Amino acid sequence: MSAGFDNDVRLQVYRHFVDHGEPPTAAQVGQALGTGVEKAGAAFRRLEQDHALVLSPGTLDIWMAHPLCAVPTGFWVTTARGSWWGTCIWDALGIPAMLDVDGTVETACPDCSEPIELVVEDGALRPAEGVAHFAVPAASWWANIGFT
Protein backbone atom coordinates (compact mmCIF):
# COMPACT_ATOMS: atom_id res chain seq x y z
CA MET A 1 0.00 0.00 0.00
CA SER A 2 1.27 3.45 -0.86
CA ALA A 3 2.59 6.06 1.50
CA GLY A 4 -0.15 8.26 0.07
CA PHE A 5 -2.83 5.92 1.38
CA ASP A 6 -1.20 5.76 4.81
CA ASN A 7 -1.15 9.54 4.92
CA ASP A 8 -4.85 9.63 3.98
CA VAL A 9 -5.49 7.30 6.92
CA ARG A 10 -3.38 9.46 9.21
CA LEU A 11 -5.27 12.60 8.22
CA GLN A 12 -8.63 10.85 8.65
CA VAL A 13 -7.58 9.72 12.14
CA TYR A 14 -6.71 13.29 13.12
CA ARG A 15 -9.86 14.76 11.56
CA HIS A 16 -12.04 12.32 13.46
CA PHE A 17 -10.12 12.73 16.72
CA VAL A 18 -10.35 16.53 16.54
CA ASP A 19 -14.02 16.56 15.55
CA HIS A 20 -15.27 13.86 17.93
CA GLY A 21 -12.91 14.06 20.90
CA GLU A 22 -11.92 10.43 20.51
CA PRO A 23 -10.02 8.44 17.90
CA PRO A 24 -11.76 6.46 15.19
CA THR A 25 -11.68 2.71 14.91
CA ALA A 26 -10.07 1.06 11.91
CA ALA A 27 -13.59 0.21 10.75
CA GLN A 28 -14.63 3.86 10.87
CA VAL A 29 -11.56 4.94 8.93
CA GLY A 30 -12.05 2.13 6.42
CA GLN A 31 -15.66 3.21 5.92
CA ALA A 32 -14.78 6.90 5.60
CA LEU A 33 -12.12 6.17 2.98
CA GLY A 34 -14.09 3.38 1.28
CA THR A 35 -11.34 0.82 1.73
CA GLY A 36 -12.68 -1.48 4.43
CA VAL A 37 -11.37 -2.32 7.85
CA GLU A 38 -8.50 -4.61 6.82
CA LYS A 39 -6.67 -2.07 4.71
CA ALA A 40 -7.26 0.66 7.26
CA GLY A 41 -6.02 -1.59 10.06
CA ALA A 42 -2.90 -2.49 8.10
CA ALA A 43 -2.26 1.23 7.65
CA PHE A 44 -2.68 1.73 11.41
CA ARG A 45 0.10 -0.81 11.96
CA ARG A 46 2.43 0.81 9.41
CA LEU A 47 1.77 4.24 10.91
CA GLU A 48 2.60 2.84 14.33
CA GLN A 49 5.87 1.43 13.02
CA ASP A 50 6.67 4.91 11.73
CA HIS A 51 5.78 6.43 15.13
CA ALA A 52 2.97 8.42 13.52
CA LEU A 53 0.38 6.68 15.74
CA VAL A 54 0.55 4.66 18.95
CA LEU A 55 -1.78 1.66 19.32
CA SER A 56 -2.80 0.01 22.55
CA PRO A 57 -0.59 -3.09 22.79
CA GLY A 58 -1.94 -6.06 20.87
CA THR A 59 -4.89 -4.14 19.41
CA LEU A 60 -5.83 -1.78 16.60
CA ASP A 61 -7.16 0.72 19.15
CA ILE A 62 -5.48 4.11 18.85
CA TRP A 63 -3.86 5.10 22.13
CA MET A 64 -2.13 8.26 20.94
CA ALA A 65 -2.17 10.38 17.83
CA HIS A 66 0.27 12.88 19.22
CA PRO A 67 -0.49 15.30 20.73
CA LEU A 68 -3.95 13.77 21.30
CA CYS A 69 -4.43 10.90 23.73
CA ALA A 70 -7.39 8.52 23.75
CA VAL A 71 -7.24 7.66 27.45
CA PRO A 72 -7.38 9.90 30.53
CA THR A 73 -4.09 11.45 31.58
CA GLY A 74 -3.07 14.20 33.96
CA PHE A 75 -3.46 16.80 31.20
CA TRP A 76 -6.89 18.07 30.17
CA VAL A 77 -7.02 20.60 27.37
CA THR A 78 -9.99 22.84 26.62
CA THR A 79 -10.31 25.02 23.52
CA ALA A 80 -13.12 26.58 21.50
CA ARG A 81 -12.75 23.63 19.06
CA GLY A 82 -13.25 21.00 21.77
CA SER A 83 -11.56 19.24 24.68
CA TRP A 84 -9.04 16.40 24.71
CA TRP A 85 -6.52 14.61 26.89
CA GLY A 86 -2.92 15.44 26.13
CA THR A 87 -0.25 12.78 26.54
CA CYS A 88 2.10 15.02 28.54
CA ILE A 89 2.65 18.73 29.11
CA TRP A 90 4.45 19.06 25.76
CA ASP A 91 1.53 17.42 23.99
CA ALA A 92 -1.10 19.25 26.06
CA LEU A 93 0.39 22.54 24.90
CA GLY A 94 0.73 20.99 21.45
CA ILE A 95 -3.04 20.72 21.06
CA PRO A 96 -3.73 24.48 20.87
CA ALA A 97 -0.49 24.78 18.90
CA MET A 98 -1.66 22.17 16.36
CA LEU A 99 -5.13 23.68 16.07
CA ASP A 100 -3.88 27.29 16.12
CA VAL A 101 -6.43 28.20 18.78
CA ASP A 102 -6.30 29.53 22.31
CA GLY A 103 -6.89 27.09 25.13
CA THR A 104 -6.35 26.03 28.70
CA VAL A 105 -4.30 23.14 30.04
CA GLU A 106 -5.28 21.75 33.43
CA THR A 107 -2.73 19.60 35.24
CA ALA A 108 -1.20 19.29 38.71
CA CYS A 109 2.29 19.28 40.17
CA PRO A 110 3.25 15.60 40.60
CA ASP A 111 5.13 16.47 43.79
CA CYS A 112 2.55 18.44 45.76
CA SER A 113 -0.65 17.90 43.73
CA GLU A 114 -1.29 21.64 43.53
CA PRO A 115 -3.28 22.45 40.38
CA ILE A 116 -1.40 24.10 37.52
CA GLU A 117 -3.41 25.92 34.88
CA LEU A 118 -1.70 27.09 31.72
CA VAL A 119 -3.50 29.50 29.42
CA VAL A 120 -2.71 30.02 25.76
CA GLU A 121 -4.09 33.39 24.80
CA ASP A 122 -3.73 35.24 21.51
CA GLY A 123 -1.25 32.59 20.43
CA ALA A 124 1.07 33.01 23.42
CA LEU A 125 1.46 31.27 26.76
CA ARG A 126 0.34 33.48 29.61
CA PRO A 127 3.24 33.70 32.11
CA ALA A 128 2.85 31.02 34.78
CA GLU A 129 4.84 29.73 37.72
CA GLY A 130 6.42 26.35 37.12
CA VAL A 131 8.87 24.30 35.09
CA ALA A 132 8.77 21.33 32.73
CA HIS A 133 10.70 18.13 33.39
CA PHE A 134 11.64 15.33 31.01
CA ALA A 135 12.75 12.26 32.94
CA VAL A 136 13.98 10.28 29.93
CA PRO A 137 16.62 11.37 27.39
CA ALA A 138 15.29 11.96 23.86
CA ALA A 139 17.04 8.93 22.38
CA SER A 140 15.07 6.62 24.72
CA TRP A 141 11.58 8.12 24.43
CA TRP A 142 10.28 5.41 22.11
CA ALA A 143 11.51 2.61 24.39
CA ASN A 144 8.41 3.41 26.47
CA ILE A 145 6.42 6.24 24.95
CA GLY A 146 3.98 6.08 27.87
CA PHE A 147 6.66 7.41 30.23
CA THR A 148 8.97 10.19 29.18
Partner 1 sequence: MLAFRSEAHVDRWCTARRLPRGAVFTLDQAWRLAKAWYADRLAPDWRRRTPAEAEAVFGSVGLRGSFWKLS
DSSP state of 139: G
Q: How far is the CB of 24 from partner 1 (least distance, A)?
A: 15
Question: Which residues of the shown chain bind partner 1 in the complex (CB under 8 A)?
Answer: 7, 10-11, 14, 18, 50-52, 66-67, 74, 88-91, 93-95, 97-100, 107, 109-112, 114, 116, 118, 120, 124-125, 127-139, 148
Identity of the residue, 37 or 148, whose beta carbon is nearer to partner 1 in the bound complex: 148
Identity of the residue, 11 or 38, whose beta carbon is nearer to partner 1 in the bound complex: 11
Q: How far is the CB of 18 from partner 1 (least distance, A)?
A: 8
Q: Dihedrals φ, ψ of 21, to 5°? A: 80, 0
Cβ-Cβ contacts under 8 Å for 43 (sequence gap 6 or more) = 1, 5, 6, 9, 10, 29
Decide if 51 contacts 142 (C-beta within 8 A).
yes
Q: How far is the CB of 46 from partner 1 (least distance, A)?
A: 12
Identity of the residue, 38 or 117, whose beta carbon is nearer to partner 1 in the bound complex: 117
Q: How far is the CB of 79 from partner 1 (least distance, A)?
A: 13
Q: Measured between alpha carbons, how far is 146 from 148 in angstroms, rounded to an integer?
A: 7
> What are 76's strand-pairing partners?
85, 106
Identity of the residue, 79 or 107, whose beta carbon is nearer to partner 1 in the bound complex: 107
Identity of the residue, 27 or 116, whose beta carbon is nearer to partner 1 in the bound complex: 116
> Of 60, 100, 95, which Cα lies nearest the Cα of 75?
95
